[in-house]
Amino acid sequence: MEGDCEPASAGPTWLIAERAPKALYDLLGTKEYRKEILGDRITHVIQRIKNRLKLFCDKELADDPESAEKIVSIEVCKGYPANEILKKAEALRCDLIVMGTHGKGIVSQAFFGSVAKRVLRRVRKPVFIIPLPEE
């Protein structure tokens, strides 16, 4: 019974673990294909966020069509939130910035969320911070 000192599953388990990354890599295809899939998912998520924001605006401004007409566009960007907000405000030459805040963290981050704090520290335009309801 020489050779029986190793567990019978040691070989196959190792073999499966060794081949799994290759199989997964083959399944996902080329680097360009993976980027395309990721890009499609990001585009889909951005579109879903835009749709939800549009529905929110429509619901909240249903009684005030004049205000609803003032919404020119809904912008959703990927990146660091504070940086993207500041870049977009500059590019659009905004007169002011309106932000919602959840105020998560220690004592609600002393009333502001971390993104709102970062924007306030770096911007030279008026900023309205609106606390978002808990839902």
Of 33 and 26, the structure prediction assigns the larger pLDDT to 33
Convert the pLDDT of each residue in 108-128 to its tens digit. 545 567 888 899 999 999 998
Q: What confidence category does residue 21 fall into, taking pLDDT thresholds of 50, 70 and 90? A: low
Instruction: Supply the DSSP string of 63-120, one letter for each residue.
Output: T-HHHHHT--------S-HHHHHHHHHHHTT-S-EEEEE---STHHHHTS-HHHHHHH
Q: What are phi and psi for residue 127, nearest 5 degrees?
A: -130, 125
Query: Does 4 score more than 50 pLDDT?
Result: no
CATH number (1.10.340.30, 3.90.1640.10, 3.30.1490.100, 3.40.50.620) of 77-135 reads 3.40.50.620
**pLDDT of the residue at 39:** 78
Domain extent listing, the chain: 8-71, 77-135
**Predicted confidence (pLDDT) per residue in 48-106, tens digit:** 988 988 888 888 889 998 988 888 888 888 889 899 999 999 998 988 998 887 655 55
